[in-house]
Structure 1
């Protein structure tokens, strides 16, 4: 089989997984026109239409579905064979593609990316940071990062960050003349900066103290989908923000922000890197896991 044909097959698998030429182009790091050309060339070569294509959607034909089912295991074996060559190298090679929630990506990958790539010069790291709930198998990731309560049972999980917690913060200007909240219920009397998930749902603020868990549906004049913007809104006196503690360390130290409900903000020890139990663990992913375990635990 020629290299061009193998590339077309790999492109077919990516398009079939995403059901999108555009997303396949992003993953393959090529132009969308190159993806279209590869699929058209493959279909001409085999003499069968593999995809139904409209201006709004891409779906597999019956032939495409069968081709996908038979081709995927073969490519998995090729990937394992290539990864097996790592045993003859000093360091692993290849690409590790992971999904990390955008809100915590800087903390998960802090002091990880540089050392990982310096120690493994043949390795490439492809990180997609989004707070959208992602299916790592369907979207073609080697692994993801998620809190434990959202993990499915068919995943292998490695605890990586046991000491993250939220903080409720406000500016001195906002709190001037207001009574700071003493218990979560007091938030009803405060303007709160709300966070919206990519899917549209509003995130409730969650607290815990002495075994008691409280879930609060807050309200306020500002709703955002980015924690950096939430911190900025808090600094500008728009209200109280509920953000990861590590995001406001400098602002708290300088006095630009003030903590509230500190004794209700418990540490969350349930952050994991996870990957499918049925998937071969590549040497590159193993190197990433070892690095995060070493540098991520506080």
Structure 2
């Protein structure tokens, strides 16, 4: 039997954990075909099948589960040891993978990322902008960035922005001659620019005032999936849009848009960076958090 390399075992652990060649390949930074060939070679060298494969899924065999159970703590201990060495020399290295929505990614690129990469030249940053909320552990990310209310409860969260709010905006030309909006129910008599969420569902506009909460499935013939496009459509008079206030700020400041139903649009917790609390925090992530706190101080 040929003794497998550390790279082979790490690759097997990634495939068995993610239960997907594509996600494992993304996490490892290799091609899916090369990863598949490596797993076939590993099984051939060990003389046992480790993975059950179908056209749509992959899962460990009984032998694969047994190997993974013994291998996982060994790989974690190895990561901890390497992180300890990095801490000792004060120069973390490796790749830090962060999953964020587009607005969060833009914020990080303007604030934290330049200082982080300058201060830690041995670190590489893989920042993935993705609309839908993903399982960062399953997808092989070190951390995620989302609005505070979307952070899973079992995660450690670090605030990276002030509270924010969504507002209903419209062009003055659209509102001219129309009945004023007093409550969210009045939206049912207006043209609204609806939002398609990354999950494929349409967003129900959510409002709150004095403890009363409402979620309105607004009417409208136009549906978009990008806040910036919704702001532009609203400024062109195509209807009402419900967007982050920061996204519409320039249009509001110069009068191209105005807000309605402001007293129904409370502030909500801002963006947070989050990571698993039950796992060892890599040196690179700790360094990133330190820079994050410094920038936001």
Specify if TM > 0.5: yes
Q: Which residue of 1 aligns with 2:73?
A: 73
Distance change (3 Å), C-alpha of 1:188 and 1:7: same
Which whole-Å deviations, capped at 9, do the CAs of 1:145-169 have from their partners, x for residues lacking one? 2344444443222222232221221
Query: Is the contact made by 1:144 and 1:275 (CA closer than 8 Å) also made in structure 2?
Result: yes
Distance change (3 Å), C-alpha of 1:46 and 1:172: same
* 1:171-186 mapped onto 2 (5 Å cutoff): 171-186=171-186
Q: Which residue of 1 aligns with 2:255?
A: 255
Query: Is the contact made by 2:104 and 2:146 (CA closer than 8 Å) also made in structure 1?
Result: no
* 1:42-191 mapped onto 2 (5 Å cutoff): 42-107=42-107, 109-191=109-191
Higher mean displacement: 206-215 or 6-15 = 206-215
C-alpha displacement of 1:21: 1.7
State how far apart, in whole Å, the 1-side matches of 2:194 and 2:118 are: 40
Q: Which residue of 2 aligns with 1:295?
A: 295
State how far apart, in whole Å, the 2-side matches of 1:107 and 1:210 are: 32
Which whole-Å deviations, capped at 9, do the CAs of 1:211-259 have from their partners, x for residues lacking one? 4433322221122222233223223332111111111222222333222
Which whole-Å deviations, capped at 9, do the CAs of 1:247-276 have from their partners, x for residues lacking one? 122222233322222233222125432211
Secondary structure at the aligned position of 1:164 is classed as coil
Q: Which residue of 2 aligns with 1:30?
A: 30
C-alpha displacement of 1:39: 1.0
Distance change (3 Å), C-alpha of 1:108 and 1:264: farther
Query: Is the contact made by 2:168 and 2:243 (CA closer than 8 Å) also made in structure 1?
Result: yes
Gaps (5+ residues) in structure 1? Answer: none
Query: Is the contact made by 2:104 and 2:145 (CA closer than 8 Å) also made in structure 1?
Result: no
Query: Is the contact made by 1:17 and 1:140 (CA closer than 8 Å) also made in structure 2?
Result: no
State how far apart, in whole Å, the 2-side matches of 1:267 and 1:294 are: 24
C-alpha displacement of 1:25: 2.3
Which whole-Å deviations, capped at 9, do the CAs of 1:53-101 have from their partners, x for residues lacking one? 2222222212112222221111111111111112233432222212223
Secondary structure at the aligned position of 2:220 is classed as coil
Distance change (3 Å), C-alpha of 1:16 and 1:133: same
Which whole-Å deviations, capped at 9, do the CAs of 1:1-55 have from their partners, x for residues lacking one? x998211112112222322222222222222221112111111111111112222
Higher mean displacement: 193-202 or 136-145 = 193-202
Higher mean displacement: 285-294 or 101-110 = 101-110
Query: Is the contact made by 1:159 and 1:273 (CA closer than 8 Å) also made in structure 2?
Result: yes
State how far apart, in whole Å, the 1-side matches of 2:292 and 2:185 are: 37
Q: Does 1:39 align with 2:48?
A: no
Query: Is the contact made by 1:91 and 1:119 (CA closer than 8 Å) also made in structure 2?
Result: no
Query: Is the contact made by 2:104 and 2:271 (CA closer than 8 Å) also made in structure 1?
Result: no
Q: Does 1:273 align with 2:279?
A: no
Secondary structure at the aligned position of 2:114 is classed as helix
TM-score of the superposition, structure 1-length normalised? 0.89
RMSD: 2.4
Q: Which residue of 1 aligns with 2:12?
A: 12
Equivalent pairs counted in the alignment come to 296
C-alpha displacement of 1:117: 0.9
Distance change (3 Å), C-alpha of 1:185 and 1:268: same
Higher mean displacement: 240-249 or 192-201 = 192-201
